[in-house]
Amino acid sequence: MECMELDSVAFARYKIYTLCCRKLLQHYHDLKAKCARAKGRGRMSLKKIERQFDDLLKDACSGIDYDLALDNVHHRLSVMENKAADAGNERVRDKLRQIREEIVTEGVRWDPCSPCHLADFRTAGQGLAKAFFEQGGREANKKLIQEKHPSLECSNMCSGKRPMCTYGDTIYVQFFPSFPFSTYFSYPFLFLHEYCHIYTEETDCKPLDGWMIYAAELFCKNNWSELASCYSLSAVQKRTFSTFSRRKVRGLAKTGYDLAEDVNLWVGDTDFLKITWDLASYPPALADELSFHTEFLLLMEDYTSLDKGNVLAVEAQKAETAQQLLGVLSAPKA
């Protein structure tokens, strides 16, 4: 991964952020188990540790010197260890100590721009996107899978505080000091979303962006056992991405996300995914045309109402394509 556009301060902040998040992710399951077994009124809950870890990240990433940030992390985790010990949670203390020691030891040689750092996340995201389209995607999507091989860069190219975006043939990973650890945990699914963009016909329909996020979540949920084993994904990564989506997806994308959920509730998973694969393969409209995507999603808004939802469910099951469904539902009623 290229980090050429990061200045020394931004690089130092991204370095401490990724190092800490990486170690927390590696030990999260064990930490969760030890917190669950902790006893006593003063025990340190997992939620409390998560909040303190996010505070630690925010503080460490506010500085300009990596070594000072590493010392800060060492101190903050030592304080957390002592609190766990004072509460009688020795196992939690020992796990926090292990995380701290590994951060300090590996921090000397840690390079967030090393090709191997995000390789597993990127491979997982690309693999999930391929599995999504290979299960039911159309020929247009499968052709794009064969043709598109994007590069990866760390650069503040994305609008707003989005952790990832795609422009042309490049996926950009963006970082801000305010990012919580859950953003890092979500990386495989953020890559999944970007690869869905890459393997989908270009469109300016913003609600479709949110629709595709929901569809990808649904696909992963329905195929979790196989996908998690294949790409070494943890349940917390899936859960944090779902929470991330509901909190961070805004505007027209949020409208599309909510609409996708409503349509899915009426038509069921099979017909919903059939519709989604058609939407993802439909070519973009000409500049002076109302796009098929926009027309279709506007119609779905109308047909997810209480009095029309059952009609949508019946017709979606009968229709072979989204285009056919649009034609039936938009036809003048006798």
If asked whether residues 45 and 192 sit together in one domain, one would say no
Same domain (yes/no): 65, 162: no
How does strand 170-173 pair with strand 164-167?
Answer: antiparallel
Which of the given ranges, 53-67, 141-155, 244-258, 274-288, has the highest pLDDT on average? 53-67
Helix, strand or coil, per DSSP, at residue 238: helix
Co-location of 270 and 291 in the same domain: yes
User: Does residue 221 share a domain with residue 81?
Assistant: no
> End of a domain among 49, 72, 106?
106
Task: Note the pLDDT tens digit of each residue in 95-129.
Answer: 999 999 999 999 999 998 887 889 999 999 999 99
Number of separate domains in the chain:
2
Q: Are residues 194 and 313 in the same domain?
A: yes
- Of 64, 84, 106, which residue is a domain's last? 106
Based on the fold, state whether residues 23 and 55 are members of the same structural domain: yes
Report residue 287's pLDDT band, with 50, 70 and 90 as the boundaries.
very low
260 against 3, higher pLDDT: 260
Q: How far apart are CA 189 and CA 185, in angstroms?
A: 9
Q: What percent of the chain has pLDDT over 90?
A: 62
Residue 242 has pLDDT above 70, yes or no: yes
Q: Do 234 and 153 share a domain, yes or no?
A: yes
The single-letter DSSP state of residue 286 is: P
> Using CA atoms, how far apart are residues 15 and 248, in angstroms rounded to an integer?
24
Q: What is the mean pLDDT of residues 295-302?
A: 93
CB 132 within 8 A of CB 216: yes
Per-residue pLDDT tens for 184-195? Answer: 999 999 999 999
Q: How many CB atoms lie within 10 A of CB 313?
A: 16
Query: Of the candidates 106, 131, 165, which is a domain's last residue?
Result: 106
Residue 2 binned pLDDT confidence (cut-offs 50, 70, 90): low
- Residue 88 binned pLDDT confidence (cut-offs 50, 70, 90): confident
Judge whether 272 lies within some domain.
yes
Are residues 72 and 136 part of one domain?
no
Is residue 111, in this structure, part of any structural domain at all?
no
**Residue-number span of the structural domain to which 190 is assigned:** 119-330
Residue 97 shares a structural domain with residue 227: no
Q: At what angle do helices 46-60 and 66-86 cross, to 10 degrees?
A: 160
210 neighbors 254 (Cβ within 8 angstroms): yes
The answer as to whether 307 is a domain residue is yes
Q: What is the mean pLDDT of residues 321-325?
A: 92
Across the range 273-293, mean pLDDT stands at: 77
Residues 24 and 66 reside in one and the same domain: yes
Residue at 293 is within a domain: yes
| pLDDT tens-place string over residues 125-149 | 999 999 999 888 788 888 889 999 9
- Does 284 score more than 80 pLDDT? no
How would you class 193 by CB atoms within 10 Å of its CB: exposed for 0-12, middle for 13-18, buried for 19 or more? buried
The residue among 292 and 67 whose pLDDT is bigger is 67
Q: Is residue 247 part of a domain?
A: yes
Residue whose entry in the numeric block shows the structure tokens 């796990």? 95
Look at residue 114 and tell me if it is in a domain.
no
- What are the distances in angstroms from CA 312 to CA 29, 278, 299? 42, 16, 10
273 and 224 share a domain?
A: yes
Dist CA 266 CA 325 (whole Å): 14
For residues 130 and 80, membership in a common domain is answered with no
